[in-house]
Amino acid sequence: MNVLIIDDHHVVRKGLIFFLKTQKDIHIVGEGSTGEEAIKLTEQCMPDLILMDLDMPDMNGIEATKAIRKKFPQVKILILTSYSDQSHCIPAIAAGASGYQLKDVEPDELVKTMNEIMDGENYIHPKATTHLMSKFSHENEDIHLWHELTKREKEVLSEMGKGKSNKEIATDLFITEKTVKTHVSHILSKLDVDDRTQAAIFAVKNNFVK
């Protein structure tokens, strides 16, 4: 398994490299500290799996994951972060990550997760899963809110769930960016959420992303 490590904390990167080098069949092919470096190194090293941090300068892990999965769909990405809340987890999975693991994981458990992902499985840390389920426990209410949206608003929300920007949504739906902003405003109001991230979480959690 060829592994690329992306984390803006030098100590974290070196600690992961030190441990993973002791593991049979795991080969470290590169390391980086930003999302932009992740994209460049993926093209250069062609890893099988990337251990990706979320909170990084220049380009965060979610944006990098989205870009890498679009260009290199065969590359698996495991998010390794300290954030267990749904506002980080759902966008990461929606961006194309195959797994979501926390940094306080035991080393052997991390290797197990890496192998599971390479075997084609998906993984979300139980703490993140608990937060997701506690946040969204009113499924019937969610379905009702979905039906309150117009056809076009549903299309826009679906694209938001994919992590797309207003500009990208406008291009894909053949409408102006100003129109998209109007639809987004209506969607936030109808769903009674504070921002587009929460709206995207709503869409992904309820399988409204087409």
Q: Are 79 and 64 within 8 A, CB to CB?
A: no
Looking at residue 133, its pLDDT comes to 61
Domains of the chain: 2-134 (3.40.50.2300), 137-205 (1.10.10.10)
The pLDDT value recorded for residue 113 is 93
pLDDT bucket at 87, cuts 50 / 70 / 90: confident
Res 105 pLDDT > 70: yes
Mean pLDDT of the chain: 90
The pLDDT tens digits of the residues spanning 145-158 come to 888 999 999 999 99
Q: How far is it, in rounded angstroms, from Cα 191 to Cα 198?
A: 9
How far from chain centre, in Å, is Cα 15? 23
* Residue 106 to residue 206: CA distance in whole angstroms: 31
Q: How far is the C-alpha of 185 from the C-alpha of 134, rounded, in Å?
A: 26
- The pLDDT of 18-46, averaged and rounded, is 96
Cα–Cα dist 103/152, whole Å:
40
pLDDT (average), residues 13-28: 95
What does pTM read for this prediction?
Answer: 0.64
Q: DSSP letters of 107-164? A: HHHHHHHHHHHHTT--EE-HHHHHHHHHH---HHHHHHHHHHS-HHHHHHHHHHHTT-
Within 10 angstroms of residue 44's Cβ, the number of other Cβ atoms is: 11
pLDDT in tens, 124-143: 887 776 666 665 555 667 78
Distance CA 189, CA 204 (A): 18
| CA–CA dist 99, 123 (Å, integer) | 4
Q: How far apart are CA 204 and CA 163, in angstroms?
A: 10
Q: Decide which of 197 and 177 is more confident.
A: 177
Percent of the chain residues topping a pLDDT of 90: 66
> Above 90 in pLDDT, residue 3?
yes
* Contact call for residues 23 and 45 (beta carbons, < 8 A): no
